[in-house]
Amino acid sequence: MSLELTEIWRYPVKSCRGEQLTEAAVEPWGLAGDRRWMIVDGAGDAVTARDYPPLVLVTPRVEDGKITLSGPGLPEVTVPVPSGADLVPVSVWGYDLLASPADGVASLWLTGIVGVPVRLVYLDDPTRRSPNPAYSQDGDLVSLADGYPLLLTNEASLDAVNGWIAAGPMPAEGPIPMRRFRPNVVLAGAPAWAEDNWRRLRIGPVTFRVAKGCDRCVFTTIDPDTAKRGHEPLFALARHRRWDGKIWFGVNLIPDNPDPGALLRPGDPIEILE
């Protein structure tokens, strides 16, 4: 097999629109700038597009010292990156940590998007959170992603899913783009589902451990361009990729001691080490 990195994505604000990159630095907790911001409710719990699909239409733009949010039919709002002097308790799927609240203007803007009171927070110190110890090692870190630093997906596996959708009862819902699965890195050159059996791999200059497969939720049924919810790809995946009571697509990666400044670029070779 000749495997190649074809796409790189990061998601500055958890659940909001992603940004396709021409290069990305790999840090111990994920790609630089990936999911360092999050929207939370009054209790500090993560607010996501699973419950509020319009969040996928919010486009974040992070620049030196500030973040700008834009959305359909709305004026942009720009706020500074919090200094970290003030911290509030937040929670990501039961993992409690501290984050720095952003200027209230952004919170009011996002409240208008979702329709309930929310606020925007920033993970000023990304060393505060660790992945599930059942699938990681001491010293592993993760930002505000659901569970692990990076998600890898395979173009051939997406082709298989789209084939199942086309042959199923709702062919009009396909084909779906890879963006539905919100990966960080996408590869080509491997057979469908080969990633299920990988344990270690090298992408360009960086070695990764495969923590576990990625179980998928209703988020994948939300069209990233319209925020409308459908049935696919979960319907197709449930027929072919369901075990342990979950539905699977993609694998979670943990960087293995990346060198500072290590960069990934589309076209980088991928080597399966184990």
pLDDT score of 258 more than 90: no
pLDDT in tens, 108-158: 999 999 999 999 999 999 999 999 999 999 999 999 999 999 999 999 999
Which CATH number covers residue 10? 2.40.33.20
Across 66-75, 182-191, 258-267, the highest mean pLDDT is recorded for 182-191
Supply the pLDDT for residue 1: 67
Give CA–CA dist 157/198, Å, rounded.
14
Separation CA 43–CA 45 (nearest Å): 6
CB 253 within 8 A of CB 198: no
Mean per-residue pLDDT, 59-88? 94
Mean pLDDT of 238-245: 97
* Percentage, residues of the chain above pLDDT 90: 95
Of the candidates 179, 165, 148, 187, the residue with the CA atom closest to the CA atom of residue 234: 165
Mean pLDDT, range 189-211, rounded to an integer: 98
Question: How far does the chain reach from its first CA to its final CA, in angstroms?
Answer: 14
- What's the domain range around 92? 3-272
Provide the domain count of the chain.
Answer: 1
Residues paired with residue 100 on neighbouring β-strands, in sequence order: 122
Q: Are 219 and 55 in contact (CB under 8 A)?
A: no
SS3 breakdown of the chain: % helix, strand, coil, rounded to 5?
A: 20, 35, 45
Question: The pTM is what?
Answer: 0.96
- Interatomic CA distance for residues 181 and 158, integer angstroms: 10
pLDDT band for position 257 (cuts 50, 70, 90)? confident
pLDDT of 74 above 90: no
Per-residue pLDDT band at 54 (split at 50, 70, 90): very high
- The secondary structure of residue 175, as a DSSP letter, is P
Concatenate the DSSP letters of all residues of 46-69 into one string.
B--TTT-GGGGG-EEEEETTEEEE
